[in-house]
Structure 1
Amino acid sequence: MTTVLVVDDSRLARDMVSHVIASLHPDWTIVVAAGGEEALQKVGTSAPAAAVVDYNMPGMDGLTLAAGLIERFPGLPIGILTANVQEALKKKAEALGCRFIAKPITSDKIRAFLSEAGLSEPKP
C-alpha cells in the first residue's frame, strides 16, 4: 500500500493536495497533518512513499520538518510547497534534497512531483 504524507496548516491546501493525489491514485493512503509535530506523530516509524510539506507553518516550519523526516527516513522524496519563491529558500530545500513546489497548487505540479519521486503513474 502506497502512503503519501500531506502537511499544511491550511485545511484548504491539505484538501487540494489530497484531492489531486486521490484523483490520480484512488488506492493510495493519504495521511494528513496540520503541522510538523502532528506529522511526525502520525507517521511514527512507518515510512511514507513521499511527503508534500508546506514551508510556512506555525511552530515547526517545513524545512525543519523535512530534515526530521529525512533523518527518520533517509531518501524520502519530499516536496516543499510554498508561495515563498525566494532563491534562498529554493537553495535550502535543494540542499536537503527536497523538491520545491511553488503555490498555487495544481494537478500538474503534484503529478510532476510524484513522477520525479519515482512513484508510478496511475493506470488509465
Structure 2
Amino acid sequence: MSDPHATILVVDDSKISRNIACGLIRNRCPAARLVEAGDGPEAIAQARVHAPTLVIMDVNMPGISGIEAAASILSEQPDTRIVLLTANVQAATLARAEALGVALFRKPIKGEVIDAILALLDAPRTAVEVCP
C-alpha cells in the first residue's frame, strides 16, 4: 500500500465482520487509520468527517444498502476508492457496482480478500472487479 497512513472506513452491520476486517487490516497496515460504521447513513456521515482513502462496505445492510451509500459518498468525494463486499453476487448488484465504478468482492472476509482489496490502493482504477 503506497500510503501506510491511509484512512480506511470499514462498514458492515455485523460488528463481528467489522472486527475481522479491521483485525486483518491492522495486521497488514498497522499505521492505517481505521474508522468503522454499522450502516449506510453512518458510513456517509463518517466519510464526510474523515474523507477516507478507502471504504470497504457490505452490500446488504438494513435501511440504506451499501450500493446506495457508495453512490452518496462518491457524489461528494469522487476520488474515494470504494470496495463492496457481498456473500451473494447477483447480476443486478454487479451491474450497479459496475455503473458506480467500484470493485466487488465476495465474502467471507479472509486474509486473501483483504490483501486483494488493499492492493487496489496502488492500482489504477479500472472496470469493476469481482474477486472470489
Q: Paired residue for 1:85?
A: 89
- What is the alpha-carbon distance in structure 1 between the residues aligned to residue 26 and residue 74 of structure 2? 24
CA root-mean-square deviation: 1.4
Which runs of no fewer than 5 residues in structure 1 stay unpaired?
Answer: 120-124
For residue 73 of structure 1, the aligned residue among 49, 73, 77 is: 77
Q: Which has the higher mean CA deviation after the structures are superposed, 3-12 or 78-87?
A: 78-87
1:118 deviates by 1.9
Bigger mean CA deviation after superposition, 63-72 or 45-54: 45-54
Take 1:29 and 1:94, find their aligned partners in 2: how far apart are those partners? 27
Q: Look up the equivalent residue of 1:76 and give its one-letter code.
A: T
For structure 2, the residue ranges without an aligned partner over 5 or more in a row are 124-132
State the distance in 2 between where 1:92 and 1:41 align: 22
Give the letter for the 2:95 counterpart. Answer: K
- The TM-score normalised by the length of structure 1 is 0.89
Q: For this pair of structures, how many residues does the alignment match?
A: 119
Task: Please show how residues 99-114 of structure 1 align to structure 2 within 5 Å.
Answer: 99-114=103-118
Farther off after superposition, 109-118 or 39-48: 39-48
Question: C-alpha distance in 2, partners of 1:6/1:17?
Answer: 7
* Aligned AA (1:14): R
Residue type of the partner of 2:73?
L
Q: Give the alignment partner of residue 19 of structure 2, picking from 15, 18, 33.
A: 15
Please tell me whether residue 32 in structure 1 is matched to residue 44 in structure 2. no
**Does the 8 Å CA contact 2:7/2:50 hold for their aligned counterparts?**
no
**1:42 aligned onto 2:46:** yes
Deviation at 1:110, TM superposition (A): 1.3
> In structure 2, what is the Cα distance between the partners aligned to 1:46 and 1:27?
16
Per-residue CA deviations over 1:6-44 (Å, capped at 9, x if unaligned) read 000001111111111111001111100100111222232
Cα distance between partner residues in 2 of 1:117 and 1:25: 12
Amino acid at match of 1:39: A
**Identity value in percent:** 38
TM-superposed CA distance for 1:45, in Å, is 4.4
Cα distance in 2 between the residues matched to 1:64 and 1:45 = 18
